[in-house]
Amino acid sequence: MITALVLYDLPPHIDREACRQHFLKIAPDFLGVPGFIRKQFIHDVNGGVAGGSYIWENLAAAKAFYTGPWVEGIRARYGCEPRVTYFETFAIADQATGYAGPPSGLAVGARERERVG
């Protein structure tokens, strides 16, 4: 499992509320992306920077996403290059589900709940 931290500078005309509205609008678009698990849409509390913390099944899926149309969209909307950093995810603690342990256990648990739920 890979965690990708993506940050980009916001142009002056995109304030907190405009950023929030855009994120709410595009959030559903991520649900069909191959290898995608979760994203937290983030905005710096001091303004000027936004992005996301993404969880991916693997590095190949993450890198495939951050090319082509996605990066072109970031460049067009924000006028800058995104900063993408990849991290191996060794463990997860999730208050909402009560799960704490290796990421594979979380993914298997979620899929199992979908089948029986």
pLDDT in tens, 89-111: 999 999 999 999 998 765 544 44
H or E segment and range at residue 73: helix 69-78
User: From the CA atom positions of the chain, what is the Rg in Å?
Assistant: 15
Q: Which amino acid is at 47?
A: G
Residue 84: CB partners within 8 Å, gap ≥ 6?
4, 5, 6, 66
**pLDDT of the residue at 115:** 36
Residue 16, token pair as written in the block: 């907190």
Strand stretches in 32-94, DSSP E: 36-43, 49-56, 83-88, 92-94
**pLDDT of the residue at 104:** 78
**pLDDT of the residue at 117:** 41
Closest CA to 78 of 56, 39, 52, 46: 52
Report residues of the chain scoring pLDDT below 50.
Answer: 108-117
Mean pLDDT of the chain: 90
CA count, 13 A, side-chain hemisphere, 41:
13
